Structure 1
Amino acid sequence: MSVLDFLRPAPYVEEIQDEDLVKKNYKYWRLRTFYAMYVGYALYYLTRKSVTFALPALQGDLGLDKFELGLLGTILSLLYGASKFLSGILGDKSNPRYFMSIGLILTGVFNILFGFSSAWWAFAIFWGLNGWFQGWGWPGCAKLLTHWYSHSERGRWWSVWNTSHNLGGALIPLLVAGCAAQFGWRFALFVPGVVCILGGVFLINRLRDTPQSLGLPPIERFRADYPDPSRQQKETQQLSAKEILWEYVLTNKYIWILALAYFFVGLIRTAVNDWSMFYLVEVKNYTLVESGICVTWFEVGGFLGSLAAGWAPDVLFKGKRIPVIVLCTLFIASLMFGFQVLPGSLLVIDSLFLFFFGFFIFGPQMLIGMVPAELSHKKAA
């Protein structure tokens, strides 16, 4: 059996005819699938941002300059972005149970190897490989969310799942900064690495593929919930990966517009996320632990912002998601200006700014990630 055979989607099995059993199984598997991918994606974040909060200690120990440290972040981001695209194509034709789990285990392995290294070239290799396998988390979650939750409810489920970023992100500053302060920066890589290897084993145990692989009907039929009648026929067609990629992704102009929007929102998020720790330590003169507390509020704001972004379009804008994205980006621009000109070092004020950064950044990020999945074919999610 090859690796690709191992990753193939689970085959459909004979559909269960007992309606009561179908309802019982759907209730069980939807909950189990959700909490597993929620925990799994939160753990991905532990190994994606572990170095960010160990950087001040790492720099002091090894004497690397900021250009070298920033280049590590660039390498991770470039390979992560490339992986999200290419792994997304592979993920469409893979079993998320194994795809997501293997990716998480390997990110843990490369975090540990990074912690054992001291040369910049070794950092670059291991952090680049970490970035590549970070891209194995999102495709599995997108596939599970579109196969287990129907159109009319998906916004709420998606917004709650999106807070997994923030759970992981809120734990990182406290866990990593604490480890770095007490035991050195290497332990700030070892601990998240071990946790994520164990988390990958947990995902293999908890996750399954599509409802049909468990003898359940498609979610749209189970909940009688298709976004429009014409789509029901389209989404039951068997299409090749090439047909899905060309017809529903590469030639879809809305996907490209949203990709550009995601780039700019991601640029701001990465700048705040990756460099706020350095900024608070060097410009505001906070300790590692104080800076970690400040940055935790960025994730708390993101948690609440994601929930609000899932609720607002349905309640305030009649299901339209774009107005919410535009409003949030306007607030982000105001916050960027205010944070730069704010004088002094007040822990409460800086924490408040980071809270609102998170609130208005993670909302549009969640929506921009969700809208393409709804505009495209279900199997291209």
Structure 2
Amino acid sequence: MTPNSDIPPSEINTWCDWAPFDGSDADTLLGTLDSAFLFAYALAMFASGFIAERINLRYFLSLGMLLSGVFCYLFGVARTYNIHDFTYLMFVQASAGIFQTTGWPGVVTVVGNWFGKSKRGLIYGLWNSHTSIGNILGSLIAGEYVETDWSLSFIIPAFIIGAFGFVIFLFLVVRPTDVGCLPPDNGNQRLTRPYRVLENRVANVETPSGDSSDTDDTEILIGEQEVQRRISERSYLLTRDRQQEPEKAIGFMGACRIPGVVEFSLCLFFSKLVSYTFLYWLPLYVKNSTAMGAMLSADFSTLFDVGGIVGAILAGVVSDYTGMSATTCVSMLFLASPMMFVYLKLGSYSFAVNMILLMIVGVLVNGPYALITTAVSAELGTHSSLGGNSKALATVTAIIDGTGSIGAAVGPLLAGYLKNYGWQSVFYMLMISDALALILLLRLVQQELTQWKHRRQVRRE
């Protein structure tokens, strides 16, 4: 199809000739599709966490991935079968958003089941890098086919997620006790205590001459075998008890009453607002503020996600070392606002400066967002106030991420409106959102600092 004469020459390479996106309202229609996906995702997330606590997560995750692939495929075949109905595209986008909510609460729960609390921040930080890697790969796959056959930008990812959904169905083990292993948080205690008791018993065995003496190497080996037998027996009993007396899943209001859930949820609303506004609008900003073309701007913007990988790991490591997750988030949020201002003023100075500043902003913006949606959610989902009940992790994760996803839907919409007043207005909105996210955690920071001072005082005594 020949481009309209109304299209500026500078936009010929990025102009769309596919109805209904070939008119002057193309940006509005595309923004509506984005909003349909994001709002459907945000609202469905709350229900997703509720369901995840009550069914087998292997089925839940694999079915969610397969259906996500189906609706991604259905969007792509709109080009193949010449489907131009905007209602159809809206329905497919919203459905994709709904089924993609199965991933986050389900997988956070599975990772929490297997790794427990030891080095939780680092483990979740490494795991969370998949979001940034996925963004990068998605951008590269879409960019590869966008000018030749854009349907493949959806069809290929659809087959990828569908294939891995089948792998999850075949091989995922939801919790260690399903295969006779001990839960990670109880492993050290259950290994150490039987061994000490057994060691004391065999250390006073009478020798054939009637004298009491220390046991020899053979008797120690027998003791270790007995320890392993007892471990296996306890693991079996633990699994049996869980099957006979299933834990009751926590409700929505019960999860909200866990200390810290409301604060971190509202903080994530603003943190995710900032992160997703960068995700959706950064390529256009780079294109408008530099001499880069549309495709190069899209590739260049992935540096923000590269910084996000580093930020997620860094936030997790600092949180593990200090034991103060709220303080870690506030520290990064405190630095993020001035760095966004610096990027706004100096980002167009040179290619190298833009690249460095963009990665730093990615570290500071995505670090708190990644920590809250993973390690913090897992920590609150296994809070001491639950009395050991592990059937709250998915619900808590869904509440926190669902609230954050509403912010992710609102941010790009606000940016689209404020862009008409200049990019400076968009960045000021992001800096204000960042400051609000920081303020919402100040009470928790005060509590963490008080506890830290108390621990130091106890150590000195």
Q: Shorter-chain TM-score category? A: 0.7 to 0.9
Does the 8 Å CA contact 2:36/2:93 hold for their aligned counterparts? yes
The answer to whether the aligner puts 1:260 opposite 2:266 as a matched pair is yes
One-letter amino acid matched to 1:363: G
CA shift for structure 1 position 98: 2.0
Identical counterparts, % of pairs: 25
Of 108, 131, 134, 1:142 maps to 108
The answer to whether the aligner puts 1:320 opposite 2:330 as a matched pair is no
Does the 8 Å CA contact 1:57/1:180 hold for their aligned counterparts? no
Counterpart position of 2:167:
202
Larger Rg belongs to = 2
Name stretches of at least 5 consecutive residues in structure 1 with no aligned partner.
1-55, 226-235
SS at match of 1:224: helix
The answer to whether the aligner puts 1:129 opposite 2:133 as a matched pair is no
Does the 8 Å CA contact 2:120/2:320 hold for their aligned counterparts? no
One-letter amino acid matched to 2:272: G
Does the 8 Å CA contact 1:173/1:295 hold for their aligned counterparts? no
Does the 8 Å CA contact 2:248/2:391 hold for their aligned counterparts? no
Alpha-carbon distance in structure 2 between the residues aligned to 1:122 and 1:376: 38
Q: How many residues align structurally?
A: 312
Counterpart position of 1:223:
188
Alpha-carbon distance in structure 2 between the residues aligned to 1:135 and 1:126: 15
Counterpart position of 1:275:
281
One-letter amino acid matched to 2:155: F
CA shift for structure 1 position 133: 0.9
Name stretches of at least 5 consecutive residues in structure 2 with no aligned partner.
1-12, 79-83, 191-241, 383-389, 394-461
CA shift for structure 1 position 331: 2.3
CA shift for structure 1 position 58: 7.6
CA shift for structure 1 position 239: 3.8
Does the 8 Å CA contact 2:71/2:92 hold for their aligned counterparts? yes
CA shift for structure 1 position 285: 5.0
Alignment of 1:73-222 (within 5 A): 73-117=34-78, 118-181=84-147, 183-222=148-187
Alpha-carbon distance in structure 2 between the residues aligned to 1:343 and 1:127: 34
One-letter amino acid matched to 2:138: I
Alpha-carbon distance in structure 1 between the residues aligned to 2:88 and 2:356: 37
One-letter amino acid matched to 2:277: A
SS at match of 1:205: helix
CA shift for structure 1 position 290: 0.8
Moved more, 86-95 or 61-70: 61-70
Change (3 A) 1:257 1:267: same
Change (3 A) 1:212 1:76: same
CA shift for structure 1 position 110: 1.0
CA shift for structure 1 position 300: 1.0
Per-residue deviation, residues 221-248 of structure 1 (Å, max 9, x unmatched): 22339xxxxxxxxxx885423x45443x
SS at match of 2:174: coil
One-letter amino acid matched to 1:67: T
Moved more, 140-149 or 95-104: 95-104
Does the 8 Å CA contact 1:79/1:128 hold for their aligned counterparts? yes
Alpha-carbon distance in structure 1 between the residues aligned to 2:102 and 2:279: 21
CA shift for structure 1 position 252: 2.7
Change (3 A) 1:109 1:246: same
Does the 8 Å CA contact 2:176/2:183 hold for their aligned counterparts? yes
Counterpart position of 2:340:
336
Q: What stretches of structure 1 move > 6 A for 4+ residues in a row? A: none
One-letter amino acid matched to 2:265: A
Change (3 A) 1:116 1:348: farther
CA shift for structure 1 position 347: 3.8
Change (3 A) 1:67 1:100: same
Alpha-carbon distance in structure 2 between the residues aligned to 1:323 and 1:156: 16
Does the 8 Å CA contact 2:73/2:158 hold for their aligned counterparts? yes
One-letter amino acid matched to 2:164: G
One-letter amino acid matched to 1:191: I
Alpha-carbon distance in structure 1 between the residues aligned to 2:59 and 2:154: 24
One-letter amino acid matched to 1:373: A
Alignment of 1:302-317 (within 5 A): 302-315=308-321
CA shift for structure 1 position 60: 5.3
Counterpart position of 1:250:
256
Per-residue deviation, residues 34-82 of structure 1 (Å, max 9, x unmatched): xxxxxxxxxxxxxxxxxxxxxx958454325222211222221111112
Alpha-carbon distance in structure 2 between the residues aligned to 1:102 and 1:58: 37
CA shift for structure 1 position 333: 1.2
SS at match of 1:66: helix
Of 353, 366, 380, 1:349 maps to 353
